[in-house]
Amino acid sequence: MLGWEGTPRLGFHAGLLAALTLGATVAPAGARAQEPAEDPAAAPEEAAPEAAAPEEAAPGAPAGEAAPAEEAAPAEESAPAAGDAGAAAAPAEAAADENPFMRREAPFPAPPPAPPPGAAVTPATPPPAPGGPDRGDPSESGLLGDEQALFEEETGSSQRRSRADPYEEEDQNYLFLGGFYRANWTPQGLLKIFADEAPRAIYNPAVGIELVVRKNGFEIIPSLWLQGFRTTGPYRERGDELTETEIIVSDLNTFMGGVGFLWSVEFNKYLSFQYGFDIGVGVTYGDLNRTEAYPTDIAPDAPESERSWRNWSPCPGPVSEADPRRAYCGDVDVTEGREVIRDPVTGDALSNADGSQGEHYGINVRRWSDGGGLPNVWFRLALPHLALRYKPIAQLTFRVDAGFDLFSGPYVGFAGHIGF
């Protein structure tokens, strides 16, 4: 009885319990799921015979009494068997961890799902090399796309342009400094609005510097320039007699300042058409000399030095009564009230003064400030001012000008500028 139910039997049960425990550990989950579930109702039926054995009455004992206490001792001794089984299972699990064939491993992660057919596949970004640029920072990535994105954020431009590109950004000021040449041409017809006789034409060149302030195709152009008003020819005011014709010799000049306003119609970033107007004012300097004149055809023997434009020649001075030029080159009027200019040595009358009735020989016209008719200031009003602007590179522009100045007549010119 002790040989089967005693200590040797407890050792057998502990070994059997460890084997079952390890089998449950390494068995696949599917195998364990396929094991049939135990029926709780059947368990009491199987245990009933074993439970009924201790209830048998001992020989000679009355019916219904329990078995003696000595016979229940083996059942009490079997209680420590569970503790011994647990102690035996711990070394078995340690042995399983040391055995690679019995070690439990973490399951492999499931692969990512395949993309749907036709979808674009984005390659994975490799990690940055040690010590290399930070690919996460656009300023250090070294990629053209990142650099262009930063440029667009800083400048608001979607395109990186070279320094020589003539393209002009919106709402940005551009400054250019340069010079210009302008040729005013005053035709005889314009002069004859105020005179019965006038030179054929007056050529008035101008040269100067200008600053161009440009924004959104609109230009403000302050400028300074010198302009000449040089001419020689016959002149007679409207309503005067033919004998009042004079030869005028002008070496007048003006120093002027003004400002122009031009709007642009751009054909492309290189070429544009401009239109606007100019205003200006300046001071005059130099002389305007006047001398009595006669028709050259009435004195065919006159020296060549006295001949001038349009068959008019300057008088050499007062001539004698027998000279055919007498009607045009008369004596100086020395009557009372006439202002006369005399020779400082001989005292002879040389000419009547400017502004005085009589004969004038080589007399300079007085200015407004002296009561004369020569302006001290001159004006410019160019309306319209038309131009063709060419910009080959960002730092260089050229302009061809044409227009009409109400004070100097039509003009043409050109200009060049350097940007800064």
Q: How many CB atoms lie within 10 A of CB 318?
A: 19
| Same-domain pairing of 196 and 278 | yes
Encode the chain (420 residues) as per-residue pLDDT tens digits: 444 444 444 444 555 555 555 444 444 444 444 444 444 444 444 444 444 444 444 444 444 444 444 444 444 444 444 445 444 445 555 555 555 555 555 555 666 777 777 666 666 556 655 555 555 565 565 555 666 666 666 665 555 678 889 999 999 999 999 999 999 988 878 788 888 888 877 888 999 999 999 999 999 999 999 999 988 889 998 888 889 999 999 999 999 999 999 999 999 999 999 999 999 999 999 999 999 999 887 765 656 555 555 688 899 899 988 888 999 999 999 888 889 999 999 988 999 999 888 899 999 999 999 999 899 999 999 999 999 999 999 999 999 999 999 998 899 999 999 998
Count of all residues that appear for the chain in the document: 420
| CATH number of the domain that residue 198 is part of | 2.40.160.20
CA-derived radius of gyration, the chain: 62
3-state secondary structure of 240: coil
User: Is 348 domain-assigned?
Assistant: yes
Q: How far apart are the two ends of the chain, measured CA to CA in Å?
A: 119
Distance CA 314, CA 329 (A): 9
| Same-domain pairing of 278 and 298 | no
| Same-domain pairing of 188 and 328 | no
Q: Specify whether the CB–CB gap between 401 and 412 falls below 8 A.
A: yes
User: Is 248 domain-assigned?
Assistant: yes
User: Is 120 domain-assigned?
Assistant: no
User: Is 354 domain-assigned?
Assistant: yes
Q: Quick: pLDDT tens for 83-99.
A: 454 444 455 555 555 55
| Same-domain pairing of 302 and 414 | no
Q: How confident is the prediction for the chain on average, in pLDDT?
A: 76
- The bridge status of strand 396-405 relative to strand 377-393 is antiparallel
Q: Quick: pLDDT tens for 216-244.
A: 999 999 999 999 998 888 999 888 888 99
| Same-domain pairing of 353 and 205 | no
Q: How many CB atoms lie within 10 A of CB 10?
A: 17
Coarse DSSP helix, strand, coil percentages of the chain, rounded to the nearest 5 percent:
25, 35, 40
| Same-domain pairing of 396 and 270 | yes
| Same-domain pairing of 247 and 197 | yes
The pLDDT value given to residue 272: 97
Residue 328: Cβ-neighbour burial (10 angstroms; 0-12, 13-18, 19+): buried
Place of tokens 């040391």: 98
Q: Specify whether the CB–CB gap between 256 and 281 falls below 8 A.
A: yes
Q: Which domain holds residue 393?
A: 173-287+374-419
User: Is 20 domain-assigned?
Assistant: no
| Same-domain pairing of 329 and 199 | no
CA angle 280, 283, 288 (to 5 degrees): 120
Longest pairwise C-alpha distance within the chain: 204
**DSSP classification of residue 18:** H
| Same-domain pairing of 223 and 342 | no
What's the total number of domains in the chain? 3
| Same-domain pairing of 381 and 265 | yes
| Same-domain pairing of 202 and 283 | yes
| pTM exceeds 0.75 | no
Q: Specify whether the CB–CB gap between 336 and 352 falls below 8 A.
A: no
| Same-domain pairing of 313 and 263 | no
User: Is 161 domain-assigned?
Assistant: yes
User: Is 121 domain-assigned?
Assistant: no
User: Is 88 domain-assigned?
Assistant: no
Distance CA 232, CA 200 (A): 9
Distance CA 381, CA 154 (A): 44
